[in-house]
């Protein structure tokens, strides 16, 4: 049931304020400023290293989580795609916790990576959407994301729910490790509780994105740029666009632009810049100006202050509500998803069942 939407993907994008709210309600129950985990939970105080493993969109959720765990909890994190991790036979030193992220909980490579860690890692965690899945069953602690059934092959609501649970887990790690005081923790929790409302506002501006998508639909290549936590989101935005519109898209950390990809810039290649007004904003904007100086067409996604400062010469702007910097990857996922969706609709591709792809990749 598409609930009045043209595609499951549109329905699942629109559901995000509700399902992210659901995830928040489970992990941050009202009336209390502590994180509640299912079962026996986990205490991060004795953990010395975290390994995050996944595929596809879930891998980009892990890449984002690395910023959170390292910055807030001061916990060293290694992230890998499951198909590389499992065959590299990496050492898993004492004190390592391994965490696997999977919407389906059945991805063959992710499951094999989990089995490789069995008996080696201190503890095996998973962040899953399907609680009865193999990955959930074979973990010491499975953390459900509460996204509900996701039908669209292009993952949307599972991604933002994965991010929400991972951010809350990073806060728990920070508290366990004495890296955050009660007041800061309460501030972060309050910000997270406000996220569904901001997501509603972000979804409101779908029309600007839809118009920009009409033009993207005629291009062959698109570049996504982001810095810090916006870098993994740039990768996710590019993946979403290729999956459903079949347009070649790639993402770079903004700082890498002048190390190669700038050679691609010409008036025919749009560059999507994800840049909230955060401490890295000026750096990203200077990369964006390098693109515009070479006649690249920029689509800038930022907040009011960011657009005030940097809109000159930009081709299209998409305005996002102000958001606490830690939460920006979750909020900015929405315009990235909408951009891919509307581009695919404009091209007339099969949005929910893109060619060559399966919802769950159970063979390697």
Question: In residues, how long is the chain?
Answer: 364
328-347 and 230-245 helices cross at what angle (nearest 10)? 20
Q: Is there binding between residue 57 and ligand M6R (CB under 6 A)? A: yes
Phi, then psi, of 105 in degrees rounded to 5: 75, 10
Cβ–Cβ < 8 Å for 85, 54: no
Q: Which is nearer to ligand M6R, 243 or 303 (CB)?
A: 243
Kindly list the catalytic residues. 359
Cβ proximity of 191 and 68 under 8 Å:
no
| Burial degree of 242 (CB within 10 A; 0-12, 13-18, 19+) | middle
Contact with ligand M6R (CB under 6 A): which of 153, 171, 234, 300? 153
Q: Pick from 28, 99, 154, 233 the residue near ligand M6R by CB under 6 A.
A: 154
Report the DSSP beta bridge partners of residue 49.
Answer: 96
Nearer to ligand M6R, 42 or 340 (CB): 340
In angstroms, what is the minimal distance from the CB of 8 to ligand M6R?
12
Residue 293: Cβ within 10 Å count:
11
Residue among 37, 262, 346, 361 that touches ligand M6R (CB under 6 A): 361
Q: Copy the structure tokens of residue 179.
A: 């890296």
**How far is residue 37's CA from residue 142's CA, in Å, rounded to a whole number?**
9
> Measured from the CB atom, is 57 or 254 closer to ligand M6R?
57
103 binds ligand M6R (CB under 6 A): yes
**Which is nearest to 145 in space by CA: 246, 136, 189, 137?**
136
**What is the closest distance, in whole angstroms, from the C-beta atom of residue 149 to ligand M6R in the complex?**
12
* CA distance linking residue 155 with residue 159, whole number of Å: 6
Q: Does 243 bind ligand M6R (CB under 6 A)?
A: yes
- Residue 249 as a binder of ligand M6R (CB under 6 A): the answer is no
Of 245 and 287, nearer to ligand M6R (C-beta) is 245
12 is a contact residue toward ligand M6R (CB under 6 A)? no
Query: Among residues 9 and 307, whose Cβ is nearest to ligand M6R?
Result: 9
- Rounded-to-integer distance, Cα 348 and Cα 364, Å: 30
Q: Tell me whether residue 243 or residue 278 sits nearer to ligand M6R (CB atom).
A: 243
Q: Note whether 58 binds ligand M6R by CB under 6 A.
A: yes
Binding of residue 102 to ligand M6R (CB under 6 A): yes
Closest CA to 236 of 224, 254, 245, 244: 224
User: Out of 56, 90, 226, 270, which residue is the one contacting ligand M6R (CB under 6 A)?
Assistant: 56
Structure tokens belonging to residue 36: 């509640």
Distances (CA, A) of 11 to 203, 253, 341, 354: 12, 30, 11, 17
Stretch that binds ligand M6R, among 39-47, 247-255, 274-282, 353-361 (CB under 6 A): 353-361
3-state secondary structure of 80: strand
Least gap, CB of 16 to ligand M6R (angstroms): 14
Q: Is 155 in the site for ligand M6R (CB under 6 A)?
A: yes
Residue 108 engages ligand M6R in binding (rule: CB under 6 A):
no
Residue among 219, 153, 225, 196 nearest 334 (CA): 196
Minimum CB–partner distance for residue 161 and ligand M6R (Å): 11
Beta strands 221-226; 123-128: pairing state? unpaired
Residue 55 interacting with ligand M6R (CB under 6 A): yes
Nearer to ligand M6R, 110 or 254 (CB): 110
Minimum Å gap between C-beta 324 and ligand M6R is 26
Residues 69 and 331: their CA atoms lie apart, in Å, by 19
Closest CA to 338 of 227, 197, 249, 214: 214
Residues 287-326: x/- map of binding to ligand M6R (CB under 6 A)? Answer: ----------------------------------------
Report the site for ligand M6R in 175-234 (rule: CB under 6 A): none
The reply on whether position 160 binds ligand M6R by CB under 6 A is: no
Residues in contact with ligand M6R by the rule CB under 6 A: 55-58, 102-104, 107, 110, 153-155, 243, 357, 360-361
């Amino acid at each position: 049931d598409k609930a009045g939407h043209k595609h499951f993907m549109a329905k699942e994008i629109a559901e995000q304020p509700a399902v992210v709210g659901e995830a928040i309600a489970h992990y941050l129950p009202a009336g209390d400023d502590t994180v509640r985990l299912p079962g026996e939970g986990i205490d991060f105080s004795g953990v010395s290293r975290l390994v995050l493993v996944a595929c596809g969109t879930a891998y980009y959720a892990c890449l984002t989580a690395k910023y959170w765990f390292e910055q807030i909890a001061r916990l060293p994190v290694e992230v890998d795609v499951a198909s590389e991790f499992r065959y590299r036979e990496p050492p898993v030193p004492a004190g390592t916790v391994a965490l696997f992220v999977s919407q389906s909980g059945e991805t063959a490579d992710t499951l094999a990576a989990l089995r490789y860690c069995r008996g080696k890692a201190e503890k095996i965690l998973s962040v899953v959407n399907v609680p009865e899945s193999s990955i959930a069953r074979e973990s010491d602690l499975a953390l459900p994301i509460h996204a509900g059934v996701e039908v669209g092959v292009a993952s949307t609501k599972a991604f933002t729910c994965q991010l929400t649970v991972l951010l809350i887990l990073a806060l728990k790690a920070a508290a366990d490790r004495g890296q955050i005081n009660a007041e800061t923790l309460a501030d972060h929790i309050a910000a997270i509780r406000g996220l569904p409302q901001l997501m509603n506002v972000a979804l409101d501006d779908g029309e600007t994105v839809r118009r920009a998508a009409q033009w993207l639909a005629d291009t062959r290549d698109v570049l996504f740029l982001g810095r810090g936590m916006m870098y993994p989101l740039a990768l996710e935005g590019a993946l979403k666009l290729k999956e459903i519109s079949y347009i070649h898209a790639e993402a770079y950390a903004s700082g890498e632009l002048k190390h190669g990809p700038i050679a691609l810039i010409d008036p025919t290649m749009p560059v999507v810049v994800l840049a909230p007004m955060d401490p890295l904003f000026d750096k990203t904007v200077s990369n964006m100006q390098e693109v515009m100086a070479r006649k690249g067409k920029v689509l800038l996604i930022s907040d009011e202050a960011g657009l005030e400062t940097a809109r000159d010469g930009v081709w299209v702007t998409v305005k996002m509500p102000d958001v606490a910097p830690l939460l920006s990857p979750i909020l900015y996922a929405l315009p990235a998803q909408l951009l891919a969706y509307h581009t695919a609709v404009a091209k007339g591709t099969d949005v929910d069942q893109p060619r060559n792809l399966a919802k769950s990749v159970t063979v390697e």
